């Protein structure tokens, strides 16, 4: 890994690493003086900028250490695709639903407890049982396969399935929830380990939050999304579960064995996009992306079911569903590039969203903070060419999970926790927390993350997006 190279501040919001040593392009980090940068994450960005097919490299303010490529990085590659620059949780992403209720009009804790009974929390959980054939439908069709699943698979989620609502949902999902995936391109382990996991949350930073619309900044956009002050909304953060992990791990190994990759670690190996293995990875990545879209859709149906059972028939319309771990072929500066967003969200403006419900507002951008702190809904302005039409996917970590929890081995404290139990309890005292592991969840404490308000301020000051609403958590479900 590159070491010792430090970015130079260009202005209030931008730092630059000029091309040097083995780098093939400059790298830009969009961060203010209040955003701490890990030397290792900067080194990973330099490594990414040293890959021969790379033409553009940047990082958003939530940059932190990842596997090979930092989380928060955006890479534009010419004719090449890189599994590690997408990451292990392919199509990890966000979904936001709104309700007709204001804070105080429903029992938030009771609804959250009901959701937790229907949506398994934590690693290794299963929910919706699929045959290999049915899982292949999901891989090929994404959310488009949901009506067929509702007819063929017995599950409580379908109690909330409604055809007209489904049609309204589809146009509010990035890519309408369907990419050109192929189950046959995925490794066998993906199907074996992942096909039973639809409708499960996972662990780590994945969550379901019941939130309050604490403030509105753009009344017109908010109204078009059905939002109002003090409204109850539900935010879901999850991805493709074990299916995506196995796809990523398999193709990182495949890339490392390709000609020309000798001596390159799997975390920095890439594939020629038009090669046989490059095409297979793309189809497998998109199959995992479809799996992630359907996973969030099933969880949203289960959330709707819980509200219906708790308060009677009620509509919970979808605001948007957006991915933040994906590679897509896009045109930037007149050049086709495989844009890899690893912990970064696409931020298209109104013109790029023509023909969708968002052609007047711009693409919705769902930006979570951490449990206990605010999240934001923004919209793209169309003025983000310098970031390859990308913004941060969240607040970003300032502490590793090990640092937050501390390390104990054989009953001996190797390193004390950076966040004490009392500090953690105080930081979430205003929310209802539901989790199967209250000790481990401390690794996701608010103190382990950057200041979401500052991270969002950078995005808006750069002119890439406008704030629509600030959302604060009332109940948090985590694995």
User: In this structure, what are the phi and psi dihedrals at residue 105, rounded to the nearest 5 degrees?
Assistant: -90, -15
Establish whether 393 is a catalytic residue. Answer: yes
Look at the block and give the residue holding tokens 């229907």.
118
Which residues on neighbouring strands pair with residue 238, listed in sequence order? 93
437-to-248, 433, 434 alpha-carbon distances in Å: 27, 11, 9
Out of 250, 340, 393, 430, the active site residue is: 393
Which residues on neighbouring strands pair with residue 383, listed in sequence order? none
Interacting residues of 243 by C-beta distance below 8 A, sequence separation 6+: 186, 190, 191, 193, 194, 195, 197, 287, 288, 291
Q: Are 238 and 92 in contact (CB under 8 A)?
A: yes
- The Cα–Cα gap between 319 and 296 comes to 13
Q: For the chain, give me the number of helices (H) and strands (E)?
A: 12, 21
Interacting residues of 290 by C-beta distance below 8 A, sequence separation 6+: 91, 138, 139, 140, 141, 142, 143, 145, 177, 178, 179, 181
Q: Which residues are catalytic?
A: 393
């Amino acid at each position: 890994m590159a070491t010792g190279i430090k970015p130079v501040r260009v202005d209030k919001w931008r730092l630059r690493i000029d091309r040097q040593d083995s780098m093939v392009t400059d790298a830009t980090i969009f961060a203010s003086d209040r955003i701490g940068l890990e030397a290792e994450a900067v080194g990973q960005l330099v490594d990414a900028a040293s890959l021969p097919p790379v033409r553009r490299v940047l990082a958003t303010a939530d940059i932190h250490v990842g596997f090979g490529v930092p989380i928060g990085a955006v890479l534009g590659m010419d004719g090449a695709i890189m599994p590690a620059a997408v990451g292990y949780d392919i199509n990890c992403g966000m979904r936001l639903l709104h309700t007709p209720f204001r804070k105080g009009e429903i029992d938030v804790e009771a609804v959250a407890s009901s959701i937790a009974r229907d949506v398994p929390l934590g690693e290794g959980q299963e929910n919706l049982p699929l045959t290999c054939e049915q899982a292949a439908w999901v891989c090929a069709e994404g959310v488009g396969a949901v009506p067929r699943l509702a007819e063929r698979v017995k599950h409580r989620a379908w109690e909330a399935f409604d055809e007209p609502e489904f049609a309204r949902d589809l146009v509010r999902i990035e890519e309408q929830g369907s990419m050109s995936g192929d189950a046959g391109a995925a490794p066998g382990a993906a199907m074996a380990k992942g096909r039973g996991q639809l409708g499960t949350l996972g662990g780590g930073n994945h969550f379901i939050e019941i939130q309050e619309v604490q403030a509105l900044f753009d009344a017109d956009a908010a109204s078009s999304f059905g939002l109002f002050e003090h409204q109850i909304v539900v935010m879901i953060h999850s991805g493709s579960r074990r299916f995506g992990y196995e796809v990523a791990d398999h193709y990182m190994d495949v890339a490392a064995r390709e000609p020309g990759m000798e001596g390159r670690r799997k975390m920095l190996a890439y594939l020629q996009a038009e090669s046989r293995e490059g095409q297979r990875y793309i189809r497998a990545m998109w199959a995992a992306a479809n799996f992630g879209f359907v996973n969030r859709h099933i969880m949203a149906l289960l959330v709707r079911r819980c509200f219906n059972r708790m308060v009677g028939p009620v509509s919970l319309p979808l605001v948007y569903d957006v991915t933040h771990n994906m590679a897509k072929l896009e045109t930037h500066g007149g050049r086709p590039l495989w844009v890899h967003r690893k912990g970064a969200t696409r931020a298209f403006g109104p013109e790029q969203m023509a023909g969708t419900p968002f052609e007047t507002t711009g693409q919705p951008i769902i930006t979570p903070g951490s449990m206990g702190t605010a999240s934001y809904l923004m919209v793209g302005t169309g003025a983000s060419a310098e970031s390859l039409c990308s913004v941060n996917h969240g607040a970003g970590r300032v502490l590793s999970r090990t640092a937050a929890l501390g390390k104990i081995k054989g009953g001996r404290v190797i390193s004390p926790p950076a966040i004490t139990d009392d500090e953690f309890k105080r930081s979430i005292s205003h929310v209802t927390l539901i989790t199967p592991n209250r000790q481990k969840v401390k690794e996701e404490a608010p103190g382990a993350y950057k200041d979401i308000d500052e991270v969002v301020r950078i995005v808006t000051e750069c002119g890439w997006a406008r704030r629509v609403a600030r959302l604060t958590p009332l109940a948090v479900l985590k694995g």
